[in-house]
């Protein structure tokens, strides 16, 4: 069994992170690696890096929307193209940060992502966020109310600042115990390889 920890950096606006979120647990569980769900503000990273997101470039946006449908079909994952590509993800991320790492936080992530990319809902709406957290077996009202706590705001900022300091430029990003950074949902096979490698010395 591996003693590795995998930090999964994501933003609820990131559709490729959504696809990865539905597959990364199985990879980590197979190797006994601990999975930490780490929300970051991707918009802040793009701003700091002066990067133009793909959805703001016509040809890349058109390709990306078709690519997401293709990938969802290939993986057999639920996906619905969003009516409005972006929403304000801050509330969803702050509620997530209050949920303990492990199975509970995984339920929060999956529930909120389902609302975004399987049901095309505005997960910036407190009522919608509350509903999906409740459906995930969590205390939605308490988590939404708690999102205004200063420590929650500070932790989200720290996650984003730490990501920038580590050279993160997009999501999903996987950071292994040894500091190795992998970017993109299509790096799950690479993650699998490096989690397997310690077993063989």
Q: What is the pLDDT of residues 94-142, one digit of tens each?
A: 999 999 999 999 999 999 999 999 999 999 999 999 999 999 999 999 9
Mean pLDDT of 174-181: 96
Supply the CATH number for residue 62's domain. Answer: 3.40.30.10
Number of domains composing the chain: 1
The owner of tokens 């509620």 is: 95
Of 2, 17, 31, the C-alpha closest to 110 is: 17
Of 172, 90, 155, the C-alpha closest to 126 is: 90
Q: Which range marks the domain in which residue 176 is found?
A: 5-200
Q: How confident is the model at residue 2 (pLDDT cuts 50, 70, 90)?
A: low
Q: What is the pLDDT of residue 1?
A: 42
**Which positions ≥6 away from 67 have C-beta within 8 Å?**
none
Model-wide pTM > 0.85: yes
Mean pLDDT of 2-13: 92
3-state secondary structure of 15: helix
Of 33, 51, 69, the C-alpha closest to 171 is: 51
Q: What is the pLDDT of residues 64-86, one digit of tens each?
A: 999 999 999 999 999 999 998 88
Query: How far is the C-alpha of 47 from the C-alpha of 50, rounded, in Å?
Result: 5
């Amino acid at each position: 069994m591996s003693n590795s920890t995998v930090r999964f950096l994501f933003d609820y606006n990131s559709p490729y992170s959504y696809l990865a979120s539905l597959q990364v647990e199985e990879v980590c569980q197979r190797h006994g690696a601990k999975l930490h769900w780490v929300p970051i503000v991707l918009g802040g990273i793009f701003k700091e890096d002066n990067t133009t997101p793909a959805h703001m470039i016509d040809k890349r946006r058109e390709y990306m929307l078709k690519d997401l449908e293709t990938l969802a079909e290939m993986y057999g994952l639920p996906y619905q193209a969003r009516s409005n590509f972006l929403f304000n993800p801050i509330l969803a991320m702050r509620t997530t940060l209050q949920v303990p790492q492990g199975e509970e936080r995984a339920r929060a992530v999956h529930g909120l992502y389902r609302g975004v990319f399987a049901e095309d809902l505005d997960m910036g709406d407190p009522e919608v966020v509350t509903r999906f957290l409740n459906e995930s077996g969590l205390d939605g009202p308490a988590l939404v109310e708690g999102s205004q706590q200063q420590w929650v705001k500070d932790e989200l900022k720290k996650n984003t600042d730490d990501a920038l300091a580590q050279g993160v430029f997009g999501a999903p990003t996987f950071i292994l115990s040894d500091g190795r950074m992998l970017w993109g949902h299509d790096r799950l096979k690479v993650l699998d390889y490096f989690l397997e490698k310690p077993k063989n010395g």
